[in-house]
Structure 1
Amino acid sequence: MTSEPVLETLRAFMAERDWQQFHSPENLAKSINIEAGELLECYQWDSDADRDEVAGELADVLTYALLLADRLDLDPEQIIRAKLERTGRKYPVEKAKGRSTKYDRL
């Protein structure tokens, strides 16, 4: 991997192919869901999925997620940190540690 940020690489890749025209927020959200289904398919019959197949499908999910964030002018790191902060308030460590219980039942 180069030192060039991955988002810059994605933008250049899409621009070279003139694919941005197809990247409406709706289309990108649909693509995330489609690729997530393909990722899940890797585990359909066996919990020991092929690592290379999983990596390829996960890369597709992440690519579309980054493109959607970019299209909506959202900073991925910032929105993840903000979500973690909100989730941390809903799931305080002292109540949630080691449990998968929904926050309203802790």
Structure 2
Amino acid sequence: MAIDRLQHMVADFVAKRGWEQFHTPKNLVMALTGEVGELSELFQWLTAEQGQTIMDDPAQRTKVEEEIADVFIYLLRLIDILQVDLVDAVEAKLRKNAERYPIEQVYGRAVKYSELEHD
């Protein structure tokens, strides 16, 4: 699977530099948060339309892709360190969300779980 391959590439990159000592869950979450902030910064003052077309500008596309890659690299490292099976976690979360957000109550609506009718 591609995720496993990427995890191994990241782990190898880290090991070759002796950085394992710095990759605690806390540090990785902090780094991940910082990278999400850098990605957010690219969109911060754009209009909704500008955000939709940001990838049309080659320079902006490169910046967005690099920040997304940074976010994903830290996330891959975190799930590796915490020994999370990402596929299982995503599948479980999607099942839970399917129960929490019934199609007939949410279709075409951006609503919070707390705003829905519950049995």
Query: Normalising by the residue count of structure 1, what TM-score does the alignment of the two structures yield?
Result: 0.90
Alignment equivalent of 2:65, drawn from 55, 62, 72:
55
Structure 2 unpaired stretches of 5+: 55-59
Partner of 2:18: 18
Q: CA deviation at 1:104?
A: 2.2
List aligned pairs for 1:58-69, cutoff 5 A.
58-69=68-79
The Cα of 1:81 is off from its aligned counterpart by 1.1
Structure 2 counterpart of 1:52, which letter?
Answer: T
**What per-residue deviation string (whole Å, max 9, x for no partner) do you get for residues 34-73 of structure 1?**
0000000011222344111111001111111111111011
Partners of 1:79 and 1:99 in 2: how far apart? 25
What amino acid sits opposite 1:80 in the alignment?
A: V
Q: CA deviation at 1:89?
A: 0.8
Deviation of the 1:31 alpha carbon: 0.7
Structure 1 gaps of 5+ residues are none
Count of residues in Structure 1 that have an aligned counterpart in Structure 2: 104
Q: Distance in 2 between matches of 1:8 and 1:95?
A: 42
Q: Which has the higher contact order (CA 8 A, sep 6+)?
A: 2
SS in 2 for 1:98: coil
Task: Report the AA paired with residue 76 of structure 1.
Answer: L
Partner of 1:91: 101
- Residue 29 (str. 1) matches residue 29 (str. 2): yes
| In 2: Cα distance, 1:42 partner to 1:8 partner | 29
**Structure with higher helix content:** 2
Cα RMSD (Å): 1.6
SS in 1 for 2:43: coil
Percent identity, aligned pairs only?
38
